[in-house]
Structure 1
Amino acid sequence: MLGQDGEGARWTVVVDDVSLVAVAIASWDCGMEHDLSPDEHTVVAALPGWPLPVAVAAPNVPAPHDPGPDVVDGPRLTPPDVEVWGPAQRRLGADEIALQWAVWREQVDDTAFPRPGGPARTPGAGEPARDGADDEAGDEAGDEAGDSAQNGAGDGPAVRPGHHRIRQVLAEARAYVDSPPPLGRVRSAFAPGGARILRADGPGWSLVARTDDIAFVLLDDEPGEVLPVGRGPELPGLLEALDRMAVRPL
């Protein structure tokens, strides 16, 4: 929760009273006033600052500001710098894709993905050619491992079959099934048609997927790139396994 103390200082508070928060959100959604003030025994952690830009403020307290050095030592939470690319920006980008799935999905040309048992797609005019390592990777039947890359600025897809980093990401995500990661690393949310939207994060990567469709991967070492992952023969089983272990909102 993002809130302010009596002096107006910004605090990010983690609580374990899910019902308390759910009631508050439901009340606010109905346009009702509701005071959300958790008891001290429900507070798991309280960190100074806000990790996101917030355009509103609590009523009847001073304007939002960071706690002073006399209150807390150490760094304050601050919104990520949108002018640079790093883990925070990558995760925020993946969250945005999850929220705007239909918008991003319609930009992907399914013909860019090779068909099981068929020849790999040949890059067209203006598309980067594949190197030898990617040729070998892309010749596997049913290659679901990322066959195109779309620039986050919306310049259109550029085909890059057999992207080896996406293979590494899928392997690391698959390892989560056998060795579950920390709670919250894999999350599942509602999607229309009985499907689920999955979000998973790992060292240097974020994955967004719909359980009945394709996936997108974002990488720290590919700033601003959104890499589609074709469905293929293995992706459905991986997404199903991740969904079973994922954290779900109440």
Structure 2
Amino acid sequence: MKKLLIALVTLVPALAMAAGGNNVQLEKANVDLTDNASLERGLDIFQHYCSGCHSTQYQRYERVATDLGISIDDMRSKYMFTDAKVGDLMHSAIPSADAAKWFGAVPPDLTLVARVRGQDWLYSYLKGFYADESRPFGVNNTVFPLVGMPHALQDLQGLASVVTDADGKVTIVKDENGQIITTGGSMTAEEYDQAVLDLTNFLVYSGDPVKLEREALGWWVLGFLFFFFIIAYLLKKEYWKDVH
């Protein structure tokens, strides 16, 4: 519990800065927690592109493998890049002291990012990077202005161009189909949209691994309460029939 509170204290102030952004209309993230293939692709992207700096330290490799239907051998060979054991928590590869020195602050744990900011915010943020030479890493973000991190998925998406209106509002340039126009990425706009959706899906799962189980159990609870209500009502009528 203490670690959880520390994570929230660290994460919330950093992400709260985004609330004062350019009032960007968030895109809808249609995640599907029943799609294990999407969740595994999201895990793959997270481990290859995000876990070097960010952790999901309230998850364990073994639990993720079980939930996503991944064999322990595949988890070890495909998604574990440190000397961690399969039962360990999923810490980032970079030491905190080095991260603070290189980035100015320790990159936040992302286990709860989707719960703190919402899946639409996260999805839009991952699509909101654009070239800005005034920033230390050469990029900025429409959803999180003055973001202090590089565009970790730049190799996949490339860099987007923007236009700035007279009020200083930044808008990413899109084509006639609503797709972001980028240069230098290895993926098409459609492929990147799917990759970001998969990553968002995985982080939504990370923030609430038992959501599907809890929701399924909830229907059983409601069914029990409905059945109990009928029994209670019939008992009430039986007990009070002589009174009336």
Pick the TM interval, shorter chain: under 0.3
Higher strand share: 1
- In our comparison, the structure showing a higher alpha carbon Rg is 2
Higher helix share: 2
Structure with bigger RCO (C-alpha 8 Å, 6+ apart): 2
Alignment TM-score, normalising by the size of structure 2: 0.20
Alignment TM-score, normalising by the size of structure 1: 0.19
